[in-house]
Structure 1
Amino acid sequence: MKKIFIILLTASLAGCSKDFTERASLTQIAKENFWKSEQDAQLAINGIYDAMQDRALYSGNLNATAGLTMFDCFGDNLYNNYKWEGPGDFMIGIITPSNGMFSSIWSSSYKGIARANAAIENIQNMSTTLISQDKKNALFGQALFLRALYYFNLAVYFQDVPLITKVQTIEEAYVPKNTYQEVNAQVIADLTEAIDKLPASYPATQYGYATKGAALGLLARVHLYNKNYQGVVDATTTLLTLGYSLNPSYAQLFTEQGELSKEILFSVRFNQDVSNNNELFSGTFLGNPAVDKLPMPNLVKDYYCTDGKPITSSPLYDPAQPTGTASHPQKKNRDPRLLASVYFKNDTFLIDTKARFGGNVPTTFGQKKYIRNTSVSANGIAAFNPGGQDFIVIRYADILLMRAEALVELNQLTEVYSLVNQVRQRVSMPTVQAVEGASLTQAALRDIVRHERRVELAFEGLRYFDLKRWGDVQNAFNRAKADNVTGYSPIYLTGKSEIFPIPLGELNVNSNLVQNPVWQ
């Protein structure tokens, strides 16, 4: 069953003036005809979710400006073959603050924040004669969660950004930046209150909305980025009791058939049958799978063999090169997550037309995870047109690995084994104890957890987040460069390769904004 979801909240909520000879304010939004019912409040919340479906955020693009779904192109997981989309030019050091990727992410995020501010400001003032207290709490909590998510993304990638927490008039709009610390404190405050307000679940007919688990998951992610490891442990301790579990099939999770999985804490929902509610991150070309984002050779090599050993030491690995239409020998005996995530030369990538992937792309590999595998869907949607795949923002496997990482950094190692083993054994990979041993050092377990995050979460937009947190961005650039992909030579630029610039258009219209020093 496909989901019901976002109704677009119209941009104007203003009512007409009582006297048509009066001129309504050009800078104030009238409230007389809105915030009068539960339906009004729900529409307002839906409008906040709607901004998340922008191409620049979680809807993604095919052959156009990159959004959050392509953030594995920053670093060593994916090669942005169409460099002008944004990540490619970023990686080779020629991008400027005028690039549309920066302005699109910025404007879409602040659109969502503005809608969240309106909801937060008005829902809490609505009388319980208009809306029940439980419903009021749930909607208010969702607005707080969504504002936190928008701001956390901005803070991680742009660092210091304007912190706006109330409905503004045009006269109030030109504000300076706040520090990362100030923005982060607001994110944590919003999530803390959201956790208190949000329900653990909704009726079966209502899904896609943020829950207590979603807010706890995002709080754990925020604490992890800030190296507050005890905060991660505290948030995930509660999460382990809320009924989430790993999806039995790893591959199915990233298809429309997996959208109701108990592994998902929060997704951005899409429905190709609803106007303005569809995505392109799962779209593909018909000649090659999603040729603008290609898996890097160093990532493919990082997946272990089924004996749990790296390809450099496993006797199961076949280094031979493929010939003819035979199955690619380097696929044999490999971690099933690799086979669910990457197309090799000679793989069939469109099952209805039996089209084979020729490997004739710069990295020789194609992205499989999340990418549609038919040229035309059952309801007639072409592979390169907008579709209805949901994008998973937070899932249970990530929770387990975040908790494992936090425990490693706290040097509390006992539980780490079971956390990693749960993730591995879902795809029938051997346990840590069976391969690496049962009495490992903190450093050894750190390497195991970081490797597990890479292969488990590849192409989910989290790699750059991980690299920044680990201080490993420069090494990732070097790994990407060492792949010797034709026409691709990443250049690490101190500062610039780890922080986005404030978009040039924002600086031009707001004299109170100052560019990040590394971009001046």
Structure 2
Amino acid sequence: MTKYIFKIQILCLALLVLSGCNDFLDKEVLGNSTDKNFYDTRYKLQAALNATYDILQSDEFTDSDWRFGEATADDVIGSDEGLSSQMGQLVHFRFNTSNTYIKKRWDINYKGVHRANQVIANVDRVQLSNNDYSKYREIREILGQAKFLRALFYFNLVKTFGGVPIRPEIETVDNLVIPRSSREETFAYIEKDLREAACMLSNRYTSSNSGKASAGAAVGLLMKVLMYQATPGTPSEKWEQVVELGKYFVQGASMTMSQMLRYDERYNEDWETLRKRLWFKPKELNGETDPYEGPDFEIAKLVNAYTFKYTDATGSPITYLDQFYSAGEFCSGSIFEIVFKESGDGTTGDTNEGSSIYSTLFASGSPMYADDQIIANIFGNDYRRNFTIGHHQYTPDHENTEIGAGRILSLKWYTPIKDRPTYTGDSGKNRRYLRYVDVVLMFAEALNECGNGAEALEQLNSYKAVVNELNNSSSLYIGGGYGYLRDQIWKERRIEFSYEWERFWDIVRQGRAASALKTFSTMRPNKRGLYFREGVNEIFPIPQTEVDISNGVVTQNPGY
């Protein structure tokens, strides 16, 4: 019941701010802002934050994620792979700079950036009626969530396009055209947002607050952002930072605010100015019972806030598949979910908080699917292959599937009968965006990269032991040299996160997209993947309209 309260709040409050949350290019530039009085209470600021979350629920955001994260990689076949279509051109890497799907991915993530910027830029307009510490905390947590969401949108942009323009928080007619920042500068901007959010947010939100981005979400995403900047096989401070965060998140090591922020190397502002900007209660207003968060203040621990045991939000046992269904929403292993809410009246599109994505993917006309050869390549004999299903096989609800001969779909996309919406395109099934097992496997990979193979193997097998309980298996990964262990970690990532729209980004950051797709091309009659150009297609072109409208200030990526 609690998840529906939060979802309804998102729907209702987001509608209050739509007039103030249009794309900046659609916004009439006037001498005085129409937003001046909008953000003067925490309730209004919350409404603006809800409108930012609303981007994640949009069809365009979801559509973009599966197309780029899954359909372009080597774990699926597409139902639209002809070179006459823009989707076919995308998955063959034979697109031009005006491809519609590339433009849509740019637009939807910048729309999210703009809405997050509105929250962040206007937070200081909020007026508090008293010095109650809890009121400061409420504003700080709204601000921290906005920073997390902005980081998420920019992360999507930088891994898709490389360095991108960093939009100013306050848009004016003088700063509509912004040149691209470098890849390193863009990542640094994302890191700063996530580190600040990790200090500002609660370690986990539950009950009526379930669905909010937490400190756990900020740290988990930060680990991924750092990992994407590191190169496998090359020593790097980024790998070391992933290890440091893994020890904090997984093992319970202490972490001060200064350490999380990396204050000494990143900040020129004094500590009190920083605290005020992040909405920590001013030192002069602290009472005897209020905490004062100095540089050495230890932030809340994350250890045991999340686990990879299969238990629901109340701690009751669930199945492996249940963690992806309604029974497993906000379960113990789920760090951040994109929250959907069935409207009940068949409303679709961005006016609805529900989603049609899973009914679209798990259907006879699914835009992507696997075959026996792909499933064998991913899973081998791993028991988790049983969570995919083919034509005329029975689902856990004993439905006889009619998905087409030779086609195999993931049961992660399935919606149990009891969870079915009244209208097909109106599902309230949440999308799992970040899971605890991802944190543990990132920690394991970074440990191996930093020369600690024994501890890396221990972390890897800590999850494999849980998977073994599914079929009373005793098989574990075994030790070996750096490369052998790395390959086992990558194998586990491919199995565990299969069909969660991560595959393309994983093989790119691992430096093996070209080889993986070339191998895939030998298995496909249409040679899909053959035209992937190493050193070029790891990122996509800047949409041509963005280059044109900026008169070349926004430059194109090499090779396009």
Q: What is the TM-score normalised by the length of structure 1?
A: 0.83
Q: Does the CA-based 8 Å contact 2:330-2:337 persist in structure 1?
A: no
> What letter matches 2:141 in structure 1?
A
Q: Does the CA-based 8 Å contact 2:216-2:335 persist in structure 1?
A: yes
Q: Cα distance 1:151–1:481, how it changes in 2: closer, same or farther (>3 A)?
A: same
Are 1:284 and 2:291 counterparts?
no
Q: CA deviation at 1:230?
A: 1.1
Q: Secondary structure at the match of 2:434?
A: strand
Q: CA deviation at 1:74?
A: 2.0
Q: Secondary structure at the match of 1:272?
A: coil
Q: Cα distance 1:223–1:36, how it changes in 2: closer, same or farther (>3 A)?
A: same
Are 1:192 and 2:195 counterparts?
yes
Q: How does 1:90-101 map to 2 (within 5 A)?
A: 90-101=90-101
In structure 2, the partner of 1:212 is 215
In structure 2, the partner of 1:314 is none
Q: How does 1:437-516 map to 2 (within 5 A)?
A: 437=478, 439-485=479-525, 488=528, 490-511=530-551, 512-516=553-557
In structure 1, the partner of 2:296 is none
Q: CA deviation at 1:35?
A: 0.8
In structure 2, the partner of 1:20 is none
Q: What is the rounded CA distance, in whole Å, between the counterparts of 1:235 and 1:450 in structure 2?
A: 20
Are 1:13 and 2:39 counterparts?
no
Q: What is the rounded CA distance, in whole Å, between the counterparts of 1:422 and 1:160 in structure 2?
A: 36
In structure 1, the partner of 2:72 is 74
Measured against aligned partners, the alpha-carbon deviations of 1:1-51 in whole angstroms (never above 9, x if no partner) come to 34322232433239xxxxxxxxx9547632333012111010011111111
Q: What is the rounded CA distance, in whole Å, between the counterparts of 2:529 and 2:151 in structure 1?
A: 36
Q: Does the CA-based 8 Å contact 1:296-1:480 persist in structure 2?
A: no
Q: Does the CA-based 8 Å contact 2:140-2:200 persist in structure 1?
A: yes
Q: CA deviation at 1:165?
A: 3.5
Q: What is the rounded CA distance, in whole Å, between the counterparts of 1:138 and 1:489 in structure 2?
A: 44
Q: How does 1:324-473 map to 2 (within 5 A)?
A: 334-340=381-387, 342-349=388-395, 351=397, 354-360=400-406, 364-372=407-415, 374=417, 378-382=420-424, 385-428=425-468, 437=478, 439-473=479-513
Q: Does the CA-based 8 Å contact 2:103-2:543 persist in structure 1?
A: yes
Q: CA deviation at 1:128?
A: 3.0
Q: CA deviation at 1:238?
A: 2.0
In structure 2, the partner of 1:243 is 305
Q: What is the rounded CA distance, in whole Å, between the counterparts of 1:354 and 1:28 in structure 2?
A: 61
Q: Cα distance 1:28–1:445, how it changes in 2: closer, same or farther (>3 A)?
A: farther
Measured against aligned partners, the alpha-carbon deviations of 1:220-263 in whole angstroms (never above 9, x if no partner) come to 00111112111111122222214201142321111122112011
Q: Secondary structure at the match of 1:191?
A: helix
Q: Cα distance 1:101–1:69, how it changes in 2: closer, same or farther (>3 A)?
A: closer
Q: What is the rounded CA distance, in whole Å, between the counterparts of 1:286 and 1:461 in structure 2?
A: 14
Q: What is the rounded CA distance, in whole Å, between the counterparts of 1:123 and 1:218 in structure 2?
A: 24
Q: What is the rounded CA distance, in whole Å, between the counterparts of 2:206 and 2:460 in structure 1?
A: 32
Calculate the aligned-residue CA RMSD, in Å: 2.8
Q: What is the rounded CA distance, in whole Å, between the counterparts of 2:162 and 2:529 in structure 1?
A: 26
Q: CA deviation at 1:414?
A: 1.7
Q: Does the CA-based 8 Å contact 2:325-2:429 persist in structure 1?
A: yes
In structure 2, the partner of 1:252 is 322
Q: CA deviation at 1:507?
A: 2.1
Q: Which has the higher helix share?
A: 2
Q: What is the rounded CA distance, in whole Å, between the counterparts of 2:129 and 2:86 in structure 1?
A: 50
In structure 1, the partner of 2:281 is none
> What letter matches 1:54 in structure 2?
S
Q: CA deviation at 1:475?
A: 1.3
Measured against aligned partners, the alpha-carbon deviations of 1:174-216 in whole angstroms (never above 9, x if no partner) come to 1111111111111111111111111113351111111110000
Q: What is the rounded CA distance, in whole Å, between the counterparts of 2:458 and 2:142 in structure 1?
A: 36
Q: Cα distance 1:372–1:87, how it changes in 2: closer, same or farther (>3 A)?
A: farther
Q: Secondary structure at the match of 1:205?
A: helix
Q: Does the CA-based 8 Å contact 2:518-2:529 persist in structure 1?
A: no
Q: Which runs of 5+ in 1 are unaligned?
A: 15-23, 61-65, 305-310, 312-333
Q: Does the CA-based 8 Å contact 1:401-1:449 persist in structure 2?
A: yes
Q: Cα distance 1:390–1:229, how it changes in 2: closer, same or farther (>3 A)?
A: same
Query: Structure 1 stretch 468-477 or stretch 265-274: which is displaced more?
Result: 265-274
Q: How does 1:77-226 map to 2 (within 5 A)?
A: 77-83=75-81, 88-129=88-129, 132-226=135-229
Q: Does the CA-based 8 Å contact 2:198-2:218 persist in structure 1?
A: yes
Q: Secondary structure at the match of 2:366?
A: coil
Q: Cα distance 1:463–1:296, how it changes in 2: closer, same or farther (>3 A)?
A: farther
Q: What is the rounded CA distance, in whole Å, between the counterparts of 1:87 and 1:403 in structure 2?
A: 35
Q: Which runs of 5+ in 2 are unaligned?
A: 22-27, 231-237, 251-302, 311-318, 345-350
Q: How many residues of Structure 1 are paired with residues of Structure 2 in the alignment?
A: 467
Are 1:231 and 2:246 counterparts?
no
Q: Does the CA-based 8 Å contact 1:163-1:178 persist in structure 2?
A: yes
Q: Secondary structure at the match of 2:462?
A: helix
Q: Cα distance 1:203–1:348, how it changes in 2: closer, same or farther (>3 A)?
A: closer
Q: Secondary structure at the match of 1:164?
A: coil
Q: CA deviation at 1:379?
A: 4.4
Q: Secondary structure at the match of 2:369?
A: strand
Q: CA deviation at 1:142?
A: 0.6
Q: What is the rounded CA distance, in whole Å, between the counterparts of 2:168 and 2:246 in structure 1?
A: 28
Q: What is the rounded CA distance, in whole Å, between the counterparts of 1:283 and 1:123 in structure 2?
A: 39
Q: Does the CA-based 8 Å contact 2:40-2:125 persist in structure 1?
A: no
Q: What is the rounded CA distance, in whole Å, between the counterparts of 1:489 and 1:74 in structure 2?
A: 8
Q: Does the CA-based 8 Å contact 2:352-2:426 persist in structure 1?
A: no
Q: What is the rounded CA distance, in whole Å, between the counterparts of 2:96 and 2:544 in structure 1?
A: 9
Q: Does the CA-based 8 Å contact 2:117-2:169 persist in structure 1?
A: yes
Q: What is the rounded CA distance, in whole Å, between the counterparts of 1:43 and 1:156 in structure 2?
A: 29
Measured against aligned partners, the alpha-carbon deviations of 1:353-374 in whole angstroms (never above 9, x if no partner) come to 63444424xxx32233223355
Q: Secondary structure at the match of 1:105?
A: helix
Q: Does the CA-based 8 Å contact 1:269-1:391 persist in structure 2?
A: yes
Are 1:261 and 2:337 counterparts?
no
Q: CA deviation at 1:286?
A: 8.3
Query: Structure 1 stretch 188-197 or stretch 238-247: which is displaced more?
Result: 238-247
Q: Does the CA-based 8 Å contact 1:263-1:397 persist in structure 2?
A: yes
Q: Does the CA-based 8 Å contact 1:99-1:503 persist in structure 2?
A: yes
Q: What is the rounded CA distance, in whole Å, between the counterparts of 2:72 and 2:528 in structure 1?
A: 13
